[in-house]
Chains A and B, each alone.
Chain A
Amino acid sequence: MTTTYSSDFPFDDLQGLLRFGHRHLKDSCFLLLRVADAKAAKQWLADAPVSSAIQNGSRPKTALQIAFSVAGLRALGLRESVIGDFSDEFISGMAGHESRSRRLGDVDGNSPEYWAWGGGEQQTPHVLLLLYAEAGKIAPWRKKAQGKPFAEAFELLAELPTDDLGAIEPFGFVDGISQPELDWAGTQAIDSHGRDGFSNLLAVGEVVLGYRNEYGQYTVRPLIDPMHDPGAALLPAAEDRPGLKDFARNGSYLVLRQLGQDVPGFWQFIDKASGGDATQREQLAAAMVGRQRDGRPLLPPAAAEIPGIPADDSLNSFNYLSDPAGMRCPIGAHVRRANPRSGDMPSASGCIFSRLLKILGFGLNRHDQDLIASTRFHRLLRRGRPYGPLLTPEQAVKADAPAAERGLQFICLVANISRQFEFVQNAWMVNSKFAGLQQERDPLLAHRQPLNDGTPTDQFHRPDPAGPVQTVAHLPQFISVRGGAYFFMPGLSAIRYLAALPTQGDQPS
């Protein structure tokens, strides 16, 4: 998955998760912690074996990544003047305001009051610890990584289950196929007017803070004046403000959501909607997901090579240009909503005149054209892991399918939570009007609450070449949110800075 670049990117200051999914480390353990003793916590942090993004030939046998919520940064004693420069959504938190929950679709049964964790002040994690090890070796790694002051430093809020299901998620589909390719070497020009089509190559600043994003801008983040804070000397310099130190450089926001998946409910509903026919069941499920179970896309390969996707990557080298109406892959299919693969302009334009017409909004061939543009500003780097006992679709359709807690520990890394994660979740996933659709939200992820005036949103539509769309009505909710929080995953020097914070009182500033 990862390519080695001859770039002088400071991978040694990045946490490994930004570059690797640690897929070869089959066992993992996600811990939600609260700081019990700040001094001990910093002591532990100073020696914590946090994995960097450096590649040195052999693959590591273990990995440890760490991220902090705003409450966690406060608990360690990070000054409010620094915290205040993080984004609003990070500061107020995933469950921090009713408005945010409404936008994220965390309403009704999904609302934070029912969450197992993350829903209230006392339930908010301070620290997220992600431990990875080779199969069967997580327990000794956990013991080793936790070290001596750990028990004194932290209180375990929750241990999030993860299981190795192969490459699939609990519904049975191969997951995590499509990822943006970070342009570590900066080979792609960031020019807002020069990229009409879809590119999978993404500016580093879209995921890692302290670098230029797709707008060519530096995302607002905490910068520290080393004149007032000598401890900041060990931080990297801010690229855009050379006199200042960049606390967030080489760091990223980490979004974590625990999504419970009702696997028997999903397959039994689909089975019923397909009249019990196994082939039709498979087709309907694939239409909802937007891929076959084994990950194959529903569309033929793209006519032209997509930057950032090797042409021989048969699972990924496609876009939706050849299927504007969604005849092959419905517009509302999960993967099409999550990544519409649209460029900045409605179609590769010819001469200057036709381009100008398109800029002015004319010259569209279809009514549904150009509703969703510029996917590049809304990409997520996903690092989630599933949990729960494996249940094949064939088992799941049976009425006596064993019920169990199954789901996904959804993790994504972004530089701008509101423009990336929240936008995708709100405007693309739970929005019943996505790309001109009607009465349907994401078939997998979303709740099914009707609109303000009672319009239902619990349908799924498959366009049909014969004319009338095929409607599946009364979809139940297949996923329930069990918990969630926003974290900041700092660079390694920022971790050292945190570990060295004075324990009591503010530093003079």
Chain B
Amino acid sequence: MTPQSTFMIVAPVRGGELQKLRALLAGMNKSVGLADPDNELLPFGAFERLHMARFVIVESITGDEIKAYGKQPRPWQPVLAFLGDIDGDRLAFFAELARKAEAGLQQIFAHCEGFTKAFDLLSWMLAHNIEPAANYVNWLGRTVKQVREEAALHRCLTEYLQQIVVESGRDNPRVLRQKLLSHVEMQKHAGLLKLSPEEPTPLAWRIRNGLHKIGIPLVLLLLSPVFLILAPFFALRLRLLERSDPELFIRPSREHIEALAYLEDRDVSNQFNVFGDIKPGLFRLLLFKLLMLLTDYVARHIYKRGFLTRIRSIHFARWVFMDNNRRAFFASNYDGSHESYMDDFINKAGWGLNLAFGNAVGYPTTRWLVKQGAEREQQFKYTQRRHQLPSQVWYKAYPDLTAVDLARNSRIRKGVEIRQADDQAIRDWLGEI
């Protein structure tokens, strides 16, 4: 199994360069909202291990909201963030980036503070990479290559199944399956289909992952007496803050929403970025950090097979602390329209949203961390739109495919490789094609 990893290269944009940078990035798009996979600066399509990537100029458009807490907003110099999700190891991917797109990346990063061509691009990128506090991958181990091979397999099976149903009817599932399997074999033989076997899981990753899996609960267990002692104080302080935090019911401007919506629904999937302040105070920060630790843990060890609680439309997502833990950035790739993404979340996993974002300035008031919050539907929708930033460039390696499609394609492939238990199982398999 090839584990996925993530990268996010962040550097401040030099004063006065913002417009030029925007124009340069816009040139990488093929059409509104969608990157050109063959663009000259960074030909995304040439990177076989790259699932999704984006360039975002992270600006503080809601910086004033912290005034409601009696704090002066801190200055924020806009940063360029280049982030993405890849198969395998980050270092190897960066090396590939530096090899295949050095000139283009240099041209882009030249708009950033302190970057010159004299630097070694690879080490500069490594030095400017920030780790997410929590990261979510829809399906651990599913590679771009696999996605593409399985999509091709599905297409091939669909076509051939229709043909053989006409020829020999639909009533004998075993015959149909046999015919499909021999067709697949022939296509493979002719080099038209490929189903690469899984790569062995890297040993170092397995050790690290195993230690993480045991280590975090162990540490929490060891600390549990401390948590127990702190619990009443925690509860008191939490409710005090939840009751006294200012309620920000601010409607985002129509222009802002229209600019964001203009980029959306160009593919069956969309990109999403939000950026804002963390609620002031050590309590909120520590709580946020703890919740992110747990989010990261469950995403890594539990929610790695196509669903994040009841939500099955997210491909990748990450939470990142920035500005010395004063601000947080969230980015995701999701299926369907923005409205349906939000509604799905509010209705299916509002409690999860509350946990993950309740410590951010502007989030609707929660009770006991999980209750209310997102259920204040309109206020929640206002706040997330207000904090949302457009992606200047967004790339997805498998257009037209949703996470549900990818899972189905994998099941179909499994049905080719593994014999079904009975006729009903074969029928179910045929029904998915």
Contact A97 B399 (CB under 8 A): no
**Listed stretches A117-125, A159-167, A419-427; interface member:** A419-427
Instruction: Report A56 CB to chain B, min CB distance, Å.
Output: 36
- Residues facing A in B361-405 (CB within 8 A) are 375-378, 399-400, 402, 404-405
Cβ-defined contact, A99 with B264, below 8 A: yes
B293 to chain A, nearest CB (A): 18
Across-interface contacts of A219 in B (CB, < 8 A) = 378
Whether a CB of chain B sits under 8 angstroms from the CB of A225 is: no
Is B431 a contact of A433 with CB atoms below 8 Å?
no
Give the contacts of A316-346 with B (CB-CB under 8 A): 325, 344, 346
What is the CB-to-nearest-CB distance from A377 to chain B, in angstroms, rounded to a whole number?
6
Contacts of A392 in B (CB 8 A): none
Question: Considering the chains assembled together, what is the distance between the CA atoms of A4 and B330 in angstroms?
Answer: 51
Known: A192-B375, A426-B340, A436-B404. A466 touches B267 (CB 8 A): no
CB-CB under 8 A for A427 and B309, given A374-B348, A466-B173? no
Q: Contact between A215 and B377 (Cβ–Cβ < 8 Å)?
A: yes
Q: Of all chain B residues, which has the CB nearest A344?
A: B347
B335 within 8 A of A: yes
Tell me which residues across on chain B come within 8 A of A463, comparing CB atoms: 431
Main secondary structure of the interface of B (DSSP, over half): helix
Say whether B261 faces chain A, with CB atoms less than 8 Å apart: yes
CB distance from A152 to the nearest CB of B (A): 34
Evaluate contact between B162 and A423: CB separation under 8 angstroms: no
- Specify the chain B residue showing the minimal Cβ separation from A360: B309
Residue of A nearest to B310 (CB): A361
Residue pair B343, A419 in contact (C-beta under 8 Å)? yes
A361 close to B347 (CB less than 8 A): no
- By the criterion CB–CB under 8 Å, are B404 and A361 in contact? no
Contact among B257, B378, B427, B429 with A217 in the assembled complex (CB-CB below 8 Å): B378
Q: How far is the CA of A502 from the CA of B18 in the complex (A)?
A: 48
**Complex Cα gap A220–B382 (Å):** 11
- Indicate whether A348 reaches chain B with its CB closer than 8 angstroms: no
Q: Is B308 an interface residue (CB 8 A)?
A: yes
Measured CA separation A370–B310 after assembly (Å): 8
Query: Would B378 and A433 count as touching, CB distance under 8 A?
Result: no
List residues of chain A with CB within 8 A of the CB of B312. Answer: 371
Given the complex, which residues of B lie within 8 Å of A423, measured CB to CB? 339-340, 343
Q: Mark B299-316, 1 if CB is under 8 A from A, else 0.
A: 000010001111110000
Does residue A58 face the partner (Cβ distance < 8 Å to B)?
Answer: no
B322-347: CB near A (< 8 Å → 1, else 0) gives 00000000000001110110011001
B258 touches A99 (CB 8 A): yes
Q: In the assembly, what is the distance between CA of A361 and CA of B313, in Å?
A: 13
Residue of B nearest to A218 (CB): B378
Q: Which of A360, A367, A452, A455 has the most CB of B within 10 A?
A: A452
For the complex, give the distance between the alpha carbons of A198 and B223 in Å: 44
Q: Which of B339, B402, B431 contacts A467 (CB 8 A)?
A: B431
From B165, B335, B411, contact of A367 by CB (8 A): B411
A471 and B430 form a contact (CB under 8 A) = no
B433 at interface by CB-CB < 8 Å:
yes
Q: Is the CB of B339 within 8 A of A418?
A: yes
**A65-111 interface (Cβ within 8 A of B):** 88, 91-92, 97-100, 102-103
Say whether B408 contacts A367, CB under 8 Å.
yes
CB-CB nearest in chain B for A465 = B427
A438 touches B (CB below 8 Å): yes
A302 to B307 alpha-carbon distance, docked (Å): 29
Distance A100 CA – B311 CA, assembled complex (angstroms): 25
Tell me whether A88 and B347 are in contact (CB under 8 A): no
User: Which residues from A are CB-within-8-Å of B351?
Assistant: 359
Q: Residue B171 at the A interface, CB < 8 A?
A: yes
- Is B205 among interface residues, defined by CB-CB distance under 8 A? no
A373 within 8 A of B: yes
Residues of B within 8 A of A452 (CB): 34, 266-268, 399-400
> Is A278 on the interface with B (CB-CB < 8 A)?
no
The yes or no answer to B176 lying at the interface (CB within 8 A) is: yes
* Contact among B162, B265, B402 for A471, CB-based, below 8 A: B162
Asked if residues B310 and A422 are in contact (CB atoms below 8 Å), the reply is no
Bound CA span A317–B391, Å: 46
Q: How far, in whole Å, are A378 and B339 apart by their CA atoms in the complex?
A: 12
- Which residue of A is nearest B268, CB measured? A433
Which chain A residues lie closer than 8 Å to B311 at the CB level?
A: 361
A399 within 8 A of B: no
**A230 on the interface (CB 8 Å rule)?**
no
Pair B430/A426 contact, Cβ less than 8 Å: no
A242 interface residue (CB < 8 Å to B): no
Check: A15 CB closer than 8 A to any chain B CB.
no
Residue in B161, B350, B408 whose beta carbon sits within 8 Å of that of A468 in the complex: B161
Query: Which chain B residues numbered 221 to 258 have a C-beta less than 8 Å away from chain A?
Result: 251, 254, 257-258
Residues of chain A within 8 A of B268, CB atoms compared: 432-433, 451-452
In chain B, positions 395-433 with a C-beta closer than 8 Å to chain A are 399-400, 402, 404-405, 407-408, 411, 426-431, 433
Q: Please tell me if the beta carbons of B405 and A468 are within 8 angstroms of each other in the complex.
A: no
CB-defined contacts of B170 to chain A, threshold 8 Å: 464, 466-468
User: In the assembly, what is the distance between CA of A100 and CA of B264, in Å?
Assistant: 10
Q: Is A313 an interface position by the 8 A CB rule?
A: no
- Cβ-defined contact, B165 with A468, below 8 A: yes
* Cβ–Cβ contact A373 & B376, under 8 A: no
A451 and B265 CA atoms in complex are apart in Å by: 10
Chain B residues with CB under 8 A of A431: 336-337, 340
Interface: A116 (CB within 8 A)? no
Contact A433 B404 (CB under 8 A): yes
Please indicate the chain A residues that have their CB under 8 angstroms from the CB of B336 in the complex: 427, 431, 433
**Cα(A471)–Cα(B431), bound, Å:** 11
Q: B162's closest neighbor in chain A, by CB?
A: A471
Interface pair A103/B337, CB less than 8 Å apart: yes
Q: Is B176 in contact with A467, judged by CB distance below 8 angstroms?
A: yes
Enumerate A250-276 residues with CB–CB distance to B below 8 Å: none
Q: Which residues of A contact B124 (CB under 8 A)?
A: none
What CA separation (Å) do A254 and B266 show in the bound complex? 28
Q: Known contacts being A374-B347, A419-B339, is A451 close to B399, with CB within 8 Å?
A: yes
Say whether B262 faces chain A, with CB atoms less than 8 Å apart.
Answer: yes
Task: Evaluate whether A433 and B402 lie within 8 angstroms (CB atoms) in the complex, with A344-B347, A451-B268 already known.
Answer: yes
| A469 CB-CB contact with B under 8 Å | yes
| A177, B300: Cα distance in complex, Å | 47
A400 lies within 8 A of chain B by Cβ: no
CA distance A465 to B171 in the complex (A): 9
| Residues from 262 to 321 in B contacting A, C-beta threshold 8 Å | 262, 264-268, 303, 307-312
Minimal Cβ-Cβ distance residue in A for B432: A367
| A371 proximity list for chain B (CB < 8 A) | 312, 404
Q: Which residues of B contact A419 (CB under 8 A)?
A: 339, 343, 377
In the bound assembly, the distance between CA atoms of A438 and B432 in angstroms comes to 10
Is B261's CB under 8 angstroms from A97's CB? yes
Contacts of A370 in B (CB 8 A): 310, 348
Closest to B378 in A: A220
Contact B339 A427 (CB under 8 A): yes
* In the complex, chain B residues whose CB is within 8 Å of the CB of A100: 261
What does the 1/0 interface line of A357-370 toward B look like (CB < 8 Å)?
01111000001001
Q: CA A92 – CA B344 in complex, angstroms?
A: 25
Please tell me if A453 contacts chain B, counting CB pairs below 8 Å.
yes
B262 engages A359 (CB within 8 Å)? no
Given A426-B337, A427-B336, A431-B336: A377 in contact with B343 (beta carbons within 8 A): yes
CB of B289 to closest CB in A, whole Å? 22
B431 x A464 contact (CB < 8 A) = yes
| Nearest chain A residue, comparing its CB with the CB of B348 | A373
Most buried by B among A99, A370, A436, A465: A99
Q: A431-B337, A464-B170, A465-B427 are in contact. List 19 more A-B contacts (CB 8 A).
A: A99-B258, A103-B261, A103-B265, A192-B350, A215-B375, A219-B378, A344-B347, A367-B408, A373-B344, A374-B343, A427-B340, A427-B343, A431-B336, A433-B336, A452-B399, A452-B400, A453-B399, A467-B170, A468-B165
Q: Which 8 A-B pairs have the closest CB atoms?
A: A467-B430, A467-B427, A453-B399, A374-B347, A427-B340, A99-B261, A361-B309, A455-B400
Sample 5 A-B pairs with CB under 8 A, ordered by A number: A99-B258, A217-B375, A373-B344, A427-B340, A464-B431
